Structure 1
Amino acid sequence: MQPQTDRNNGLTAPPRFEVSFANTRAEILETLKLRYRIFAGEMGAQIDGGDEHIDTDEYDAHCRHLMVREVESGRVIACTRILTDECAAAAGGFYSSGEFDLQMVDALPGRVMEIGRTCVDAEYRSGAVIGTLWQGIAGFITREGYDYLFGCASIGLDDGGARAHAILDTIRQKYSAPAYQRVRPYVNLPTADARPTGPVRMPPLLKAYVNLGAKTCGDAYWDTEFNCADVFMLLNVSDLNPRYARHFLDRASLPPVVASGLD
């Protein structure tokens, strides 16, 4: 992320957040611990975190782990993982293939990559942090030349699904992919018994997807382990919203990726 200008004295101030790849086992463990704290501690997901209290699965060793660190405190406050088409072959497929029939993805022309396990510390769920994370993703896309990005954006079901269904109705009307770019969930989201109370806002990750120009590819998957609705989102890089393309791609810069640290 680029430095910011201090309006008071015209000097260039260091950025508050920095994005980078986790290139050592210690750095990757920081991201896995953040995931556990958010998914198990906050969302109530049933995860066997072991003595280290980490969230990990068989895909992590094949992924490149991206993290956002708060400069002043040194804390990792956001992370995601990238699984490329080449690495997915070695991993036995994409993570999303456990939730959706991905025949459509297999037929896409060009190179594809999946992002997943995205989470942000509860104290930092602002546009700035999500934006910093997406700058890192954009840097990878630009450098490596991928044509499509996809992943699941989750909506919590703590209210019985009322909020999720309201959000899904909105994105179906405004941000649906064409019929030939649909995927089928293996477990459908049950209907909600009530309407949501109060204003309904998109989760930050889902909002970032649609702002970038991504489309939803059909019905959501009911993730009972994480108690959420997973919405499959597909972004054709050539269809990036011009405003956000300038914002992210013009600023995209990342150091090279080395070994995953989990091998």
Structure 2
Amino acid sequence: MNQISRTHDTSVDRCLQAERLIGAQALREAQALRYRVFSGEFNAKLKGAEQGLDIDDYDEHCSHVGVRDLSTGHLVATTRLLDHTAATSLGNYYSEEEFSLHGLGRLQGPILELGRTCVDPAYRNGGTIAVLWSELAEILNEGGYSYLMGCASIPMQDGGIQAHAIMQRLRERYLCNEHLRAEPKKPLPTLDLPTNVICEMPPLLKAYMRLGAKICGEPYWDEDFQVADVFILLKRADLCPRYARHFKAAV
């Protein structure tokens, strides 16, 4: 367990600590949290659902990171990390199941892919994300990674109205194909968007954008999870100074 990344939430009696999840039991905790979030919020079709778990073939090739509430012992956030070495052994990154990543081979420096990131609804605040980011900073620093990449999801239960509205905002401010172009293998269905839609970016997607990440193309329609997946790329050298304190060890 890594005890460097820790914060105390003064609004409630919570002490949050990041840890690297080692061993089968810790992985099952992460898979159980993923199941509760993905099935409860998205009604996702998940492998392992009969066990109350979200399981896929990538888990055993990834390292896993979590945030634990020390006052309860519960795991409240998790993400998994697939690095370039493991991806080479597998033959692809997870994102490549959803996107054709044009230019991926030309990126200079080691790459780390984030996936299956989720946070317990009761802990979706800046403190929880900051603890997770701080631990990720340690990992970035240790591995000397130049890029973070992965997908952030937008719920589609409303038929895609929010996803299309959010994408309008993202295209205006955060679209960049300078380093990589992500072409979705299953684009979103077309939709005539009402003019009066008010949209709110999901917290995780908003956090990525604040750090300086860019989107690299149109979203992928994940029908099993009932979400629109947006491919994001964060070049470590482009970290936003205002939020780089969460990644201070990696800057």
TM-score (normalised: structure 1):
0.87
Rounded to whole Å, the distance in 2 between the matches of 1:44 and 1:149 is 28
Kindly indicate whether the alpha-carbon contact (under 8 Å) linking 1:70 and 1:76 is maintained by their aligned counterparts in 2.
Answer: yes
Cα deviation, 1:199-221, whole Å, max 9, x if unaligned, reads 42111111111100000001000
Q: Whose strand proportion is higher, 1 or 2?
A: 2
Partner of 1:249: 247
1:1-263 maps to which residues of 2 (within 5 A)? Answer: 1-2=5-6, 16-179=15-178, 181-195=180-194, 199-245=198-244, 247-250=245-248
CA 1:99 to 1:173, structure 2 compared with 1: closer, same or farther past 3 Å?
Answer: same
Counterpart code for 1:129: T
Rounded to whole Å, the distance in 2 between the matches of 1:122 and 1:3 is 18
1:129 to partner: Cα distance: 1.1
1:148 to partner: Cα distance: 0.4
Kindly indicate whether the alpha-carbon contact (under 8 Å) linking 2:58 and 2:94 is maintained by their aligned counterparts in 1.
Answer: yes
Kindly indicate whether the alpha-carbon contact (under 8 Å) linking 2:21 and 2:63 is maintained by their aligned counterparts in 1.
Answer: yes
CA 1:96 to 1:5, structure 2 compared with 1: closer, same or farther past 3 Å?
Answer: closer
Partner of 1:11: none
SS for the counterpart of 2:136 is helix
The number of aligned residues is 244
1:157 to partner: Cα distance: 0.6
Counterpart code for 1:237: R
Partner of 1:258: none
Cα deviation, 1:49-70, whole Å, max 9, x if unaligned, reads 2543111111111000010111
TM-score (normalised: structure 2):
0.91
Rounded to whole Å, the distance in 2 between the matches of 1:53 and 1:67 is 18
Structure 2 gap segments, 5+ residues each: none
Counterpart code for 1:41: G
Rounded to whole Å, the distance in 1 between the matches of 2:144 and 2:240 is 18
SS for the counterpart of 2:103 is helix
Rounded to whole Å, the distance in 1 between the matches of 2:168 and 2:125 is 24
CA 1:237 to 1:44, structure 2 compared with 1: closer, same or farther past 3 Å?
Answer: same
1:131 to partner: Cα distance: 1.7
CA RMSD of aligned residues (A): 2.0
SS for the counterpart of 2:45 is coil
Counterpart code for 2:248: D
Rounded to whole Å, the distance in 2 between the matches of 1:201 and 1:3 is 27
Using CA pairs under 8 Å that are at least 6 residues apart, name the structure with larger relative contact order, 1 or 2: 1
Counterpart code for 2:82: L
